[in-house]
Structure 1
Amino acid sequence: MKLENYEAEVAVLGSILLEGTLFQDVKLQPYHFANVAHQKIFRAMKGAFNQKEMIDIVVVTTHLGEQMKEVGNTTYLLKMAESVPTTVNFKHHEQLILDAYLLRKAKEQALRYVQAPSEEGLHKLIRNLQYLYEATDDMEEKSTYDYLLEISKEMQSPSKHKANLTSYKVLDDMTGGLQRGDLIILAARPSVGKTAFALNLAAGHCKQGGSTTVISLEMGSIQLLKRMISLESGINSRKWRGNTFSQEDFSSVSRTIGEMAEWGIFVHEKNRTLSDIRTTIRKRIFENPGKNHVVIIDYLQLIQPETKRERRDLEVGEITRELKLLAIELNIPVVLLSQLSRNVEARNNKRPMLSDLRESGNIEQDADIVAFLYREDYYHPNSKEENVTELILSKHRNGPTGTVILHFDKEMGRFSEMTEKEYKEKRGARSREEQKQRRLHSV
């Protein structure tokens, strides 16, 4: 173990320069750094954080002022940030700095004792070493007792730890809502309605007072917001293309826009890399503390990994693993949309299975919930089950699996729950129609 860990110090400072919001979780102090220049850089970061500024190279340079010459100028900061391929190991590097600091202080105490050994000096050495480790104990993993205490507090104040209900009762009964720390995969073939369903989740959460961050890699922000306006106002989404709105439509849209302006909805369209996405999410939560956050990302296969791998499945595995870790770290649910492979098209029964996930292994492994959308009329346009959508929970780490039946209004992009009675009636109508067709055919 090193007395001075220069590489870990560079990794921690470089990570913060890349993702300024990491600083809010930092447990280190300037004196933990062995390198004097690094102490000054960290103090500048702390000054920016205390003034509620978003930390980046420009802000840190400003706070350093005349001290920039002593830390190696802007080039040193740039190289520091460029040397960090990923921030996923940030906490580990932070611990390495702390370990090195403890070793240095322990060595100092031991040298003092060796220079003037005595029984009293020995007791003082033991006390000082104990104090050192107790002072940094909050950096260590919590004990079982700590976790049990946390569970007890959660039971006493359930409102502070509640999940995010989706407004779909059957789904909420199965899952308890979107749970904090969960990575939720929502997958379907193209044009089945996964983006529309995700927007329904976003709207429902916002209307309950929550904050929703939508990161779209496929559609622009304007297009997504228009779809949400159609969903909420009840106007046909095709009217946006030809601008064929009636006066009643204008009134309805204006009213909806006024309501949505009060929501905690944030739509981002320019994120492409995993690093960009992580930074955006952390920044949104940092700027809106105390909110009930949900993140929706559309969609997995368009995310660019931070490092190129020899195989695509390894890249996808890195993405899902880091998004799962982010969900745990920030204590938020992350809903990640995903495409399905074409394998499903080759089967007679085209209901999706876990093996249909593109680059499947890691997605299934990292996800807490894997849900599929399936529509019979997607494959059979003349199906009597038109607009009926099955939301199939194929994996649920902490609860049951099963199917939720939804009605999908394509023109408004609106999903609503169907009761079992409504679904049976629809299936019964289809069965009677099929019998009638068979009789006509036999004549």
Structure 2
Amino acid sequence: MNGIEMRIVETLLNKPELIDSIYINTDWFTDIKLRNIVKAIQSLDLQERTLLNIFNEMDNDGSVEYKNLVDIQGGFVTSASIESDVKSLHKLYAQRNLEVSMDVYKQYPKKQELANLSEAIAELEKIDEAEDNGKLEDAIEELQVRLTSGKPTGIKSFEKLDNLLAGGLYGSMLFTIGARPSVGKTAYAVNLARQIVSKDPEVQVDFFTLEMNKREMLNRFISAVVNVDSQKLKNPSGLDLLFSEQVSAGINWVRNHKIRIYDRVLTLGGILSVIKKNAAKAKPDKYVAIIDYIGLVKVNGRQDRWLQVGKITRELKIIANEYNIPVIALAQLNRGVESRQNKEPLLSDLRESGSIEQDSNVVAFLYRPDDDNRELVKLSIRKNREGQLGDISYYFEGQYMLFKETDEDVQ
């Protein structure tokens, strides 16, 4: 058995709580038996991670006996090397992946194989980067550049939103947008993505949709970009030439901008893996991840949902810091806001966990202040570590899934 893999499993069998603080992808393991042990630990809540429960949870073909787990647990010496061992494990996996990609590219020197090779190189380079030494040189240099140029750094979106965010979406930001169902939070996220790539076509937006499929999301982008009725896109047969030309223009717009839509990545681990892979290749201020929405993200284990949500927001904040990227996460609000006369949501209305407020740099709420005016939607920023609090009014054309900033001043 691989020495590094064995040390990691020995440590986790003795200190299973470590698996919650260190990201481990079981695909990194070459030994199937050890991989299955780690999978079993990940699937259990902390208080359930006894040796017997781990054994019973394993996808076991009979090749691993309970006595084997006892023996592995008994080989434990120290947990001091766990972080370096996991990094080494990841690096070995990346090296194997690079070798495979090189061999495939030699046999099939096509565009897709070259892209796969580039991704493998980028992943390995990211692992090899120096550890954080706590020094401030990079941050000082970035500040000096901003002072010299007079231009705030950040990824641009809606103008008034950028102003409240002190220049735009910035690296390390976890930006949570909460709303009740049917207010238009997915449509708003689509419009945010559209604004971002329109302002800077070099920005890559990864959109994780856990509620809709790619076809539905594509329809929303096309509808907002070229102002065609979103309902007609669901059944486009028998429509006139002008409509077809508009749809074709919308398709070309999507093709010419860097938007990826993921509708089958449903777990926290899967989302983190995709973000890590793509953010590692991106230049500064050229990558944004959008998750729609937190309440549908699946997490390993059988913890209470509020604990799972806490893990989701914590990991999203960690990855935003680690890769210096903005992460936009949508969230659902409690029903209580609907029964109040004042419809403006409060931070306490965030559903399932207070960790959403705690981990987020910015928290905003999307709501309709007047039920009789369905076209007026407000974005209320109620937490903002780097900028101002305030409300932004939008005109929402539901037919086209389109948000437009109104002339009303930010409050």
Match of 1:174 among 164, 170, 185: 164
**Cα distance, 1:368–1:410 mapped onto 2, change above 3 Å:** same
CA distance in 2, matches of 1:146, 1:19: 33
Aligned residue pairs: how many? 321
Kept in 2: contact 1:164–1:205 (CA 8 A) = yes
Alpha-carbon distance in 2 for matches of 1:291, 1:144: 19
1:7 aligned partner: 7
Select which of 190, 203, 206 maps to 2:194.
Answer: 203
Residue identity opposite 2:330 in structure 1: L
Counterparts of 1:172 and 1:386, CA distance in 2: 25
C-alpha spacing 1:92/1:356, structure 2 compared with 1 (3 Å): farther
Q: After TM superposition, give the deviation of residue 152 of structure 1 in Å.
A: 3.2
Cα separation, partners in 2 of 1:93 and 1:140, compared to 1, 3 Å:
farther
The answer (yes or no) to whether the contact 2:205–2:289 under 8 Å persists in 1 is yes
Q: How does 1:31-50 map to 2 (within 5 A)?
A: none
SS at match of 2:404: strand
Q: Deviations over 1:89-115 (max 9, x none)?
A: xx98435789xxxxxxxxxxxxxxxxx
Contact map agreement 1:317 1:363 (CA 8 A) in 2: yes
Q: Say yes or no: does 1:143 pair with 2:135.
A: yes
Residue of 351, 367, 391 corresponding to 1:358? 351
Query: Partner residue of 1:85?
Result: 42
Provide the C-alpha distance between the structure 2 equivalents of 1:396 and 1:271, rounded to a whole number of angstroms: 29
Contact 1:212 / 1:264 at 8 angstroms: preserved in 2? yes
Distance 1:410 1:248 in 2: 21
Identity %: 32
Matched, 1:417 2:405: yes
Confirm or deny: 8 A CA contact 2:293 2:331 kept in the other structure. yes
2:268–2:299 CA contact under 8 A, matched in 1 = yes
Structure 1: state its 5+ residue gaps: 21-55, 62-73, 99-135, 424-443
Q: More helix by proportion, 1 or 2?
A: 1
Name the SS for the 1:139 alignment partner. Answer: coil
What secondary structure does 2:140 align onto?
helix
- List aligned pairs for 1:309-320, cutoff 5 A: 309=303, 311-320=304-313
Query: For residue 307 of structure 1, what is the aligned residue in structure 2?
Result: 301
Tell me the distance in 1 between the aligned counterparts of 2:184 and 2:86.
48
Give the TM-score taking structure 2 as reference length.
0.69
Instruction: Name the Cα RMSD after superposition.
Output: 3.5
Verify the 8 A CA contact 2:155 2:285 in the aligned structure 1: no
Deviation digits for residues 254-278 of structure 1 (CA, Å, limit 9, x no counterpart):
1221122111100000111110111
1:353 to partner: Cα distance: 0.8
Aligned to 2:386: 398
Q: Which residue pairs with 2:52 in the alignment?
A: none
For the 8 Å contact 1:11–1:84, the answer to whether it is kept is no
Aligned residue for 1:346?
Answer: 339
Question: 1:77 and 1:360 mapped to 2: Cα distance?
Answer: 34
The residue type equivalent to 2:270 in the other structure is D
How far residue 326 of structure 1 moved from its aligned partner, in angstroms, is 0.7
SS across alignment from 2:291: strand
The structure-2 alpha-carbon separation of the partners of 1:287 and 1:11, relative to structure 1 and needing over 3 Å to count, comes to farther
Q: Under a length normalisation based on structure 1, what TM-score does the superposition of the two structures give? A: 0.64
In structure 1, distance between residues paired with 2:271 and 2:36: 22
Contact 1:299 1:337 in 2 (8 A): yes
Query: What is the deviation of 1:343?
Result: 1.1
Change (3 A) 1:147 1:303: same
Q: Please report how far the alpha carbon of residue 148 of structure 1 lies from its aligned counterpart in structure 2 after TM superposition.
A: 3.4
